[in-house]
C-alpha cells in the first residue's frame, strides 16, 4: 500500500474522514516537498494550499498531490473540509475557532504511520547515523584542553555541512558540554575545555530530511574512581535497555528498566530525563521511551536509548545511540563506547 493510502487508512481507523497537515515534516512525508501547509488528504484528494511565495517550488517538488495557489489558504481549506470530520496535526491559531466543529486536533493517526519506517526511510536514518559516527571520530581528534566547546563544535559542523546535512533543533547545532557544564543535559555554554574533564558530545542532524541522534562522552585526562563508576553505570544501563529492545516491548517498561539499573548503582536521582524517543523526520518524535509511556515498540521504529547521570557542579555522562527496532535492536550508530580519553 502506498504511503498516502496507509495514512488515510489510519485516519479512518480513528474515526475521521480527512487529515489536515500543517507541520512541514508531515507535508514532506506526504508529498516529498518540505514546505508550509496546509495540506488536505481525503478519499480521492490530496491538495496542498500554497501562497504565491511558495507556489512554484511546491509545484516543482510535490509528488502525487494537487497544488493550488491561494491568497488565503485557510479560507479555501475550510471550504473543502465543510461537512467532514477532519483531524489536524498541529494546533494552529487560525483553525482554533473551528476546533470541535468538525476539526479535531489529533496528530496520532499520522504519527502511527510515521513511527514505522519504510525501507527507504531506514536507509536515510542509517546514512545520518553513519555521519554521526564520523563526527565522533573527528571529535576524538579535535577535542583538546584549552579549546572552547564552540571551536570543537565548529569542526564538527563543517564536516556535517560538507556532507549535506541540515540542523533544526536547539540554540546551537550540537551540544558540546565540558566539565561542570556537562552536568546540564542541554548546555550551550561555549566554555573552555579543561584538563581531566568529561566532554559530552551530543550530535543530531538530518540528511535527506531524516535525523539521527547520538551522544558520546569523552574525557580529557584520567577518569577518577567516581567518574569511572558513573561512566560504566550509564553504559551498562544503556546496554541493559538495548538488550530488551524488540518488537512488542513497552516503552515505559524500558525506561523503568534503565532507571532501576541506575538505582542499583545509587545514581537514579541523577537521571533527570527520559530514556529515549523516536527519531525520523523530527529529532524527537513518537514513540516516547519515558516514565509511564503506553507506546509499544514496533518493527521499523527508529529510536534513541540515552541514559545519563548529571551531578550538579561536577560533571555529567550521557551515552546515546540511534537504534532500529527489529526482532531485536539494531544499533545504527556504532562508534565505540569504551571510555574515550583524548
- Give the C-alpha separation, 128 to 29, whole Å: 17
Instruction: Collect all residues with Cβ–Cβ distance below 8 Å to 88 and sequence separation of at least 6.
Output: 19, 20, 22, 95, 99, 103, 104, 105, 106, 107
Which residue is at the shortest CB distance from Mn ion?
Answer: 213
- Give the C-alpha separation, 149 to 188, whole Å: 8
- Output 58 or 200, the one with its CB closest to Mn ion: 200
- Output 80 or 213, the one with its CB closest to Mn ion: 213
Number of H helices, E strands in the chain: 9, 17
Q: How far is the CB of 46 from Mn ion (least distance, A)?
A: 32
The total of other beta-carbon atoms located within 10 Å of residue 117's CB is: 24
| Angle formed at CA 194 by CA 193 and CA 197, multiple of 5 degrees | 95
- Output 133 or 213, the one with its CB closest to Mn ion: 213
Q: How far is the CB of 338 from Mn ion (least distance, A)?
A: 21
Q: How far is the CB of 68 from Mn ion (least distance, A)?
A: 38
- Output 10 or 234, the one with its CB closest to Mn ion: 234
- Output 220 or 302, the one with its CB closest to Mn ion: 302
Q: How far is the CB of 233 from Mn ion (least distance, A)?
A: 19
Q: How far is the CB of 247 from Mn ion (least distance, A)?
A: 21
- Give exposure, 220-259, as e/b (b: 16+ Cβ within 10 Å): beebeeebeebbebbbbbbbbbbebbeeebbbbebbbbbb
Q: How far is the CB of 27 from Mn ion (least distance, A)?
A: 24
- Output 38 or 185, the one with its CB closest to Mn ion: 185
> Which positions touch Mn ion (CB under 5 A)?
213, 304
Residue recorded with cell 503506553: 294
Cα 69 to Cα 44, 73, 133, 257, distances in angstroms: 20, 8, 43, 52
Q: How far is the CB of 321 from Mn ion (least distance, A)?
A: 10
Cβ(304)–Cβ(295) below 8 Å: no
- Output 25 or 213, the one with its CB closest to Mn ion: 213
- Give the H/E segment covering residue 105: strand 103-105
Short-list 175, 297, 284, CA closest to 242:
297
- Output 183 or 303, the one with its CB closest to Mn ion: 303
- Give the C-alpha separation, 216 to 203, whole Å: 9
Q: How far is the CB of 282 from Mn ion (least distance, A)?
A: 11
Amino acid at each position: 500500500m502506498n504511503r498516502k493510502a496507509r495514512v488515510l487508512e489510519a485516519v479512518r481507523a480513528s474515526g475521521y474522514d480527512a487529515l489536515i497537515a500543517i507541520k512541514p515534516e508531515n507535508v514532506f512525508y506526504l508529498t516529498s516537498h518540505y514546505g508550509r501547509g496546509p495540506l488536505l488528504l481525503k478519499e480521492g484528494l490530496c491538495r496542498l494550499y500554497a501562497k504565491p511565495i511558495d507556489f512554484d517550488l511546491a509545484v516543482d517538488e510535490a509528488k502525487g498531490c494537487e497544488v493550488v495557489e491561494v491568497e488565503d489558504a485557510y479560507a479555501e481549506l475550510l471550504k473543502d473540509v465543510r461537512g467532514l470530520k477532519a483531524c489536524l496535526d498541529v494546533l494552529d491559531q487560525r483553525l482554533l475557532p473551528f476546533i470541535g466543529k468538525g476539526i479535531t486536533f489529533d496528530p496520532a493517526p499520522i504519527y502511527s504511520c510515521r513511527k514505522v519506517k519504510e525501507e527507504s526511510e531506514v536507509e536515510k536514518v542509517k546514512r545520518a547515523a553513519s555521519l554521526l559516527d564520523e563526527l565522533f571520530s573527528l571529535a576524538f581528534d579535535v577535542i583538546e584542553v584549552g579549546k572552547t566547546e564552540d571551536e570543537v563544535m565548529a569542526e564538527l559542523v563543517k564536516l556535517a555541512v560538507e556532507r549535506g546535512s541540515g540542523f533544526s533543533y536547539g540554540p546551537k547545532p550540537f551540544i558540546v558540554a565540558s566539565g561542570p557544564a556537562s552536568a546540564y543535559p542541554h548546555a550551550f555554554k561555549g566554555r573552555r575545555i579543561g584538563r581531566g574533564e568529561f566532554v559530552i558530545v551530543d550530535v543530531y542532524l538530518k540528511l535527506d530530511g531524516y535525523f539521527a541522534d547520538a551522544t558520546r562522552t569523552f574525557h580529557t585526562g584520567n577518569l577518577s574512581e567516581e567518574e569511572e563508576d558513573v561512566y560504566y553505570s550509564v553504559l551498562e544501563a544503556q546496554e541493559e535497555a538495548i538488550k530488551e529492545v524488540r518488537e512488542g516491548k513497552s516503552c515505559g517498561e524500558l525506561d523503568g528498566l534503565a532507571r532501576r539499573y541506575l538505582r542499583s548503582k545509587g545514581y537514579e536521582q541523577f537521571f533527570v530525563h527520559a530514556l529515549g524517543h523516536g527519531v525520523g523526520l523530527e529529532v524527537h518524535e513518537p514513540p516516547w521511551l519515558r516514565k509511564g509511556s503506553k507506546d509499544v515498540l514496533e518493527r521499523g521504529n527508529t529510536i534513541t536509548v540515552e541514559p545519563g547521570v548529571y551531578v550538579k557542579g561536577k560533571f555529567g555522562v550521557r551515552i546515546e545511540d540511534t537504534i532500529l527496532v527489529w526482532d531485536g535492536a539494531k544499533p545504527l550508530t556504532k562508534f565505540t563506547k569504551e571510555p574515550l580519553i583524548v
